[in-house]
Amino acid sequence: MLDSALRGVPATIRPRRSRSIDRLPLLLGLVSFILWMVAVQNANALLMNPYGLASVLGWPFFLGLALIVVALAIELLHVRLRPTSLIVLIAIFAFFIYGTASAVEPVAGLESSYIHAGFIQYILQHGHALSDYDARFSWPGAFSLGSVFVAFTGLHNAIAFLRWFPVVIELLYMAPLIVISRFSGVGRRAGWLGIIIYYASNWIYQDYFSPQALNFLFYLVIVATVLACWQPARDEATAVQKFFGRTVTKVRLMFARFRGLGRDTYSNWSAFRVLLIMILLSLVMLASAMSHQLTPFVIMLGLAACILTRRLGRPELLVVAFIFSVAWLSLGASGYWIGHLSVIFGGLGQVSGTLGQNVATRIVGSFSHRLIVDGRILCILALYSLGVVGALRRRPDSRALEALVVAPMLLLAAQSYGGEGLLRAVLFGLPFVSLLAASAFLPNLTGPMKAIVPQMPFRRSGRLVLGSLIAGVVFIASLGTVIVRGGNDAYESYTNGEFAAVNYTYNHITPGETLGLIVPNLPIGYRDVGVINIYSADGINLLPRVRAITFERNHAAWIILSQSQESWGVNVAGYPVAWESNLEGSLLSDGYTIAKAWPTATVLRAPASFIKKN
Amino acid sequence: MSYAVIVASGALAGPPAVLVSTVAILVLLAARAWSGTMGLTLTRRVSLYVDGAIGVFFVLFLVFVIVRFKSLAG
């Protein structure tokens, strides 16, 4: 008898009923979680080498990772899909990929997360954003929400949220991901596999404490709701196919007026519910428009992709997304663009320049750093290649997934986004390309649209082959992600000593004084926003002689030298080992004195003659 | 006199112009979505009026935004 849950899985590979392995996946999941806890307990972040986080993880971590992947593969091909078990196992898997850094490193990584905590602190204290200070403050929605949370929890600042934020927000993504996988036209098993592949391959570190992490959740929620609400009506190309080629007809219909009006979709939801959903989605879009520069435009592109592929029945939503995004840019964010409009529109149409800025400028530094960057590019290329295979193999009811992968890429034609446009475009397409990649293994064979390539049926041993293949690919992907995601942690993660040094400086620096840094790779910016000046020598070549004069000219009253900055110099800037010690010696000979020192950080104080307040 | 004030780029670049056109479009879109979703049958002429008004305000919105960019960007 056919199990309805097995629709979409080729008949020849349908698993047979078995009771002996019913509890095995959860048992393996439990063992793997224990191994993870042992691994993070024994890992010492201070011993990290240039290859980052993976260099301090012992064998229990990798054994645990292998076990959780095997558990996921067994559960995925279980005769009856058990969503609860899958959710539990995926959550454990998410801890491996996104929770390890939080558990191993003594304080939260990435200086941007501390800067965002500082913005929240400012709003909490003053009740409004600080104008003309930082571009991000022109989109203060997420920071305002953060200040509400801080006030609600009775904390004094947002620092407590930073450390575990990545794993929490990634787990929050699971809800819309489940909806997207359920309603995107892939089979149920392929949908779950797509979610697993997403978690296994998201090395793009945009889930730190930031507006973009929250806005990615908004984006997923909007797309999930749209896909759940509207389904594609029957493809009406058949009647006119005799006169036009099928492809020509499909392309023509894509841009026909009735498709633009959303008339070749249908919804099983009640009219009142649809209206309510539209209001709620509009509110989410408004929140997004006020809290992030890029996401509102990606939402717009995503909705346009849904309309063109018969997955959005109300074009009003697209117009609302456009109006909110542009209106906020024009009114709310005018402090950002007044005086330098070219920052926004200067990159229009310069796709190759944008790509060059996004890719070529990153492949610099030491061998280990370039290896990590190459690994990241390789991971993305492999995933997209698998996605192409999935797109060719599946028989969908619409090509919405393909369109949602391509749509964010159009951003590159408009903006380089400070060299991060390609990263963001890939991130926004990642959930959908993961579902396509899952379709490479488990293609939907029952959709009304024809597959582009003929099917290759599995034989009698199909289940074992498929399970092994899935486990192998997911393990390799997750291993790659663990390595490349934490590959910069040698200079993007911080120690207690560095945090204490920053805190000491904040406690002693007076308003208007300048704090000097080699590069802002420190847990800095979480307080006293707009009160003190921070000078960073980032981008200035300090070689061949390490130049203390750079700081003296800029009247740096305080200087923090730290392990993460030294590691940045060696790995990214190509400075010789112990360059920071030379700089410290040079500064001391020029009159600076050591105010306080920790094993991983030193705070220097300038002589009175250097100090100039702004 | 009043005509000259209205079409002066300073007036068009101010927040009220963008804000009013935004609100107008949102109200019209809400009406369109409400009628379309709830199955309220509009005559063809009324539908055209609503869609046309949305189109006009949309163009005005774009004009106001562009004028604002050009006037204030410096």
pLDDT at A292 over 80: yes
Predicted confidence at residue A238, as pLDDT, reads 47
Residues 6+ apart with CB under 8 A from A260: A307, A315
The nearest CA of chain A is from the CA of B26 a distance in Å of 7
Residues A152-180, mean pLDDT to the nearest whole number: 95
Q: Are residues A511 and A473 in the same domain?
A: no
Residue with tokens 């993504």: A173
Residue A463 CB burial class (10 angstroms; 0-12, 13-18, ≥19): middle
Q: What are the pLDDT digits (tens) for A19-49?
A: 667 889 999 999 999 999 999 999 999 888 8
Considering CB atoms only, which of B18, B38, B64 is closest to A275? B38
Instruction: State how many domains chain A has.
Output: 2
Q: Are residues A406 and A502 in the same domain?
A: no
CA nearest A329 in B: which residue?
B65
Q: Which residue has the higher pLDDT, A21 or A317?
A: A317
Collect all residues of chain A within an 8 Å Cβ-Cβ radius of residue B67. Answer: none
Sequence spans of domains, chain B: 2-72
Predicted confidence at residue A276, as pLDDT, reads 95
pTM value? 0.89
Estimate the share of chain B in helix, then strand, then coil, as percent rounded to the nearest 5.
85, 0, 15
Q: Are residues A454 and A520 in the same domain?
A: no
Would an 8 Å CB–CB cutoff place B8 in contact with chain A? no
A278 contacts B19? CB cut-off 8 A: no
Q: Which of A434, A469, A490 is the last residue of a domain?
A: A490
Chain centre to alpha carbon of residue A543 = 35
Q: Are residues A86 and A197 in the same domain?
A: yes
Considering CB atoms only, which of A271, A337, A340 is closest to B37? A271
Predicted confidence at residue A4, as pLDDT, reads 43
Q: Which of A465, A490, A515 is the last residue of a domain?
A: A490
In this prediction the ipTM stands at 0.88
Task: Report yes or no on A418 lying in a domain.
Answer: yes
pLDDT at B1 over 60: no
Predicted confidence at residue A564, as pLDDT, reads 93
The nearest CA of chain B is from the CA of A144 a distance in Å of 22
Task: Report yes or no on A590 lying in a domain.
Answer: yes
CA nearest A323 in B: which residue?
B22
Task: Report yes or no on A278 lying in a domain.
Answer: no
Residues A279-287, mean pLDDT to the nearest whole number: 96
Is the preceding omega at residue A544 within 30 degrees of 0, hence cis? yes
Q: What are the pLDDT digits (tens) for A193-232?
A: 999 999 999 999 899 999 999 999 999 999 999 999 999 9
Reading phi first (left if > 0) and then psi (alpha if -120 to 50, else beta), residue A339 is in left
Q: Which of A451, A473, A490 is the last residue of a domain?
A: A490
A323 contacts B22? CB cut-off 8 A: yes
Q: How many other β-carbons are positioned within 10 Å of the β-carbon of residue A539?
A: 7
Predicted confidence at residue A240, as pLDDT, reads 45
DSSP string, A236-249: TTGGGTTTS-HHHH
Predicted confidence at residue A528, as pLDDT, reads 87
Considering CB atoms only, which of B25, B58, B68 is closest to A330? B68
Q: Are residues A216 and A363 in the same domain?
A: yes
Q: What are the pLDDT digits (tens) for A90-146?
A: 999 999 999 999 999 999 989 999 999 999 999 999 999 888 788 888 899 999 999
A337 contacts B25? CB cut-off 8 A: no
Would an 8 Å CB–CB cutoff place B42 in contact with chain A? no
Q: Is residue A333 within 8 Å of A294, Cβ to Cβ?
A: no
Q: Are residues A383 and A461 in the same domain?
A: yes
The nearest CA of chain B is from the CA of A293 a distance in Å of 16
Q: Are residues A99 and A207 in the same domain?
A: yes
Q: Are residues A411 and A464 in the same domain?
A: yes
B36 contacts A339? CB cut-off 8 A: no
Considering CB atoms only, which of B18, B34, B37 is closest to A330? B18
CA count, 13 A, side-chain hemisphere, A235: 21
- Cα separation of A439 and A567, whole Å? 42
CA nearest A343 in B: which residue?
B73
pLDDT at A539 over 80: no
Per the structure, the complete domain to which residue A579 belongs is given by: 494-610
Task: Report yes or no on A535 lying in a domain.
Answer: yes
pLDDT at A363 over 70: no
Write out the residues of chain A at the interface with chain B, using a CB-CB cutoff of 8 A.
Answer: 271-272, 274-275, 278, 314, 316, 319-320, 323, 326-327, 330-331, 334, 337-341
The nearest CA of chain B is from the CA of A413 a distance in Å of 20
The nearest CA of chain A is from the CA of B60 a distance in Å of 12
Q: What are the pLDDT digits (tens) for A331-351?
A: 888 877 776 666 666 666 666
B32 contacts A330? CB cut-off 8 A: no
CA nearest A319 in B: which residue?
B29
- Cα separation of A168 and A295, whole Å? 20
Residues 6+ apart with CB under 8 A from A62: A479
**What is the DSSP secondary structure assignment for residue A311, as one 8-state letter?**
-
Q: Are residues A512 and A470 in the same domain?
A: no
Q: Are residues A464 and A376 in the same domain?
A: yes
Q: Are residues A472 and A604 in the same domain?
A: no
Mean pLDDT for chain A?
Answer: 86
- Cα separation of A383 and A264, whole Å? 32
B18 contacts A331? CB cut-off 8 A: yes
Would an 8 Å CB–CB cutoff place B56 in contact with chain A? no
Predicted confidence at residue A11, as pLDDT, reads 47
Q: Are residues A375 and A480 in the same domain?
A: yes
Residues 6+ apart with CB under 8 A from A551: A516, A535, A537, A559, A587, A606
Q: Is residue B6 within 8 Å of B53, Cβ to Cβ?
A: no
CA nearest B59 in A: which residue?
A323
Q: What are the pLDDT digits (tens) for A108-121?
A: 989 999 999 999 99
The nearest CA of chain B is from the CA of A270 a distance in Å of 9
Collect all residues of chain B within an 8 Å Cβ-Cβ radius of residue A323. Answer: 22, 25-26, 61
Tell me how far CA of residue A29 lies from CA of A75, A77, A245, A571, in angstroms.
10, 16, 51, 36
